[in-house]
Amino acid sequence: MNVTFCCTDTKAEPWLAGLRMALPHAHVSEWQPGAPPADHAVVWAPPQQFLDEQTRLKGLFNIGAGVDALLKLRLPPHAKVVRLDDAGMSVQMAEYVCHAVIRHFREFDGYEADVAHSKWSYRKPRMRADFPVGVMGLGVLGERVARALRQFDFPVHGWSRSPKTIEGVVGHSGAAQLDGFLASCRVLVNLLPLTPDTRDILNHRTLSLLRPGGYVINVARGAHLVDDDLIALLDNGHLAGATLDVFRTEPLPAAHPFWTHPRITVTPHTSARTLREESIAQIAGKMLALERGEPIAGLVDPVRGY
Ligand code: NDP
Ligand code: OXD
C-alpha cells in the first residue's frame, strides 16, 4: 500500500515517522510533484495539482474535522473523503466552550478588571436559568459540548439538521426550527460545518433573535459569522460579548476591529487542536479497514458538504 502525505503548514517529518510506525507494511512518503500514484493520502489544504495528479486515490484523509477547504477543490473521482472523527478534539472543545461560557456567566472579566485596580468588588450572583445555552451543530464536537454544559446545570438547547435526542438537551432541528431555537438561547455556541447552507448563518437577523444580553461563541469557521453584524449588535447593546476562535481570514489581520473590541475575546484557532498521535492511529486504522473492504466512520458526503 502506498501512502502519500501532503499537508500545507504542517511539519511532515513527525507525521511520516508516525505513519511508518503505524503502517509498517506500507510505503509512506511526502508528496512531490510528479510522484507516482498512491492508494491513500493524508492531507490538509493540498494544492489542486496534488489532487489532479493523484487520480487513483482510494482514501483522502483530512487531518481536521472540517472539510470545507478540501471540498472547494476538484477531487479525484473514486476517493472516499474521510474527516477526523474526534481524535482527541471533542474534549478540548468541551474545555474551551465551558471555559468561555463560565467566564462570561460568572463575570470573571469584570473581577479581573477590578483586581487590576485593587478593588474588592462583589457582584450579585446570576441565575443559571437566565443563561440558556444553544449549541448549533450536534455532531461529534457539538454533542460533547452540549453534554459538558449540562454537567454545569445550564439549560441547554441544540440545533441540528436531523432530529437528535441527547439527555437533558432540548432538541431543535431543520431550518424551520432555527428561529425558535435562537429565541430560546442567551449564549450561542457555533459548531456547524461550513457548507452553502450554513455560510453567514450568524448574521444581524439571526443574532437579533437571541435573548437580550446575548453572548456568541464561534468555534467552527469564520465564514459562519458576518463580522460587521456582530459588531453592530455589540455596539447597540443587544449582545453582551463574544468569544471568537475562527475568522474569515486567518491569521486575523492586524487592523481587524475584533482585536481591539472591548467585548470580544480572540483566540488564534486553537479551541481544538489536531493531536498527531491520536490522528495517526485513527487514520492508519481506517486505511487498513478500507483495504479490507470494511466500513469506516467519518466518511464525508461531498454533496451535503460535511
Ligand atoms: P460533524 O459533521 O460531526 O457535525 C456537524 C453537525 O452540524 C451535525 O449535527 C449536523 O446535523 C449539523 N449540521 C450540518 N449542517 C446543518 C444545517 N444546515 N442545519 C442544521 N444543522 C446542521 O462535525 P464536528 O462536530 O466534528 O465538527 C464541526 C465543525 O467544527 C467542523 O466542521 C469544523 O468547521 C469545526 N472545527 C473547529 C475546530 C477549531 O479548532 N476551531 C476544530 C475542529 C472542528 P446532523 O447531525 O443532522 O447531520
Ligand atoms: C478542524 C480545525 O477542522 O482544526 O479540525 O479547524
Our answer on whether the CB atom of 65 is closer than 6 Å to any ligand 2 atom is yes
How many A from CA of 65 to the centre of ligand 2? 5
Question: What 3-state class would DSSP assign to 208?
Answer: helix
Evaluate whether 225 touches 218 at the Cβ level (below 8 Å): yes
How many A from CA of 136 to the centre of ligand 1? 8
Query: Is 0.95 topped by the overall pTM?
Result: yes
What Å distances lie between residue 46 and 26, 63, 75, 170, 190, CA to CA? 21, 11, 11, 39, 26
Q: Which of 49, 58, 48 is CA-nearest to residue 82?
A: 58
- Return the number of other C-beta atoms located less than 10 Å from residue 72's C-beta: 10
Active-site amino acid positions: 221, 269
Nearest CA to ligand 1 atom 48: 161
Q: Which domains does the chain have, with CATH numbers?
A: 2-87+274-291 (3.40.50.720), 89-266 (3.40.50.720)
Residue 299 pLDDT level (bands cut at 50, 70, 90)? very high
Mean pLDDT for all residues in the chain: 97
Residue 3 pLDDT level (bands cut at 50, 70, 90)? very high
For 152-176, what is each residue's pLDDT tens digit? 999 999 999 999 999 999 999 999 9
Which atom belonging to ligand 2 lies closest to the Cα atom of 63? Answer: 5
For 234-273, what is each residue's pLDDT tens digit? 999 999 999 999 999 999 999 999 999 999 999 999 999 9
Residue 42 pLDDT level (bands cut at 50, 70, 90)? very high
Sheet architecture: strand order including 27-30: 27-30, 2-7, 40-44, 59-62, 80-82
What Å distances lie between residue 11 and 16, 17, 30, CA to CA? 9, 11, 11
Tell me the C-alpha distance between 84 and 64, whole Å: 5
Our answer on whether the CB atom of 298 is closer than 6 Å to any ligand 2 atom is no
Residue 121 pLDDT level (bands cut at 50, 70, 90)? very high
For 88-114, what is each residue's pLDDT tens digit? 999 999 999 999 999 999 999 999 999
Q: Stretch 132-143: mean pLDDT, rounded?
A: 98
Nearest CA to ligand 1 atom 41: 219
Residue with cell 457555533: 190
Our answer on whether the CB atom of 64 is closer than 6 Å to any ligand 2 atom is yes
For 74-91, what is each residue's pLDDT tens digit? 999 899 999 999 999 999
* Ligand 1 cavity residues, CB under 6 Å: 65-66, 89, 137-142, 159-162, 191-195, 197-198, 219-221, 245-246, 269, 271-272, 306
Tell me the C-alpha distance between 163 and 17, whole Å: 42
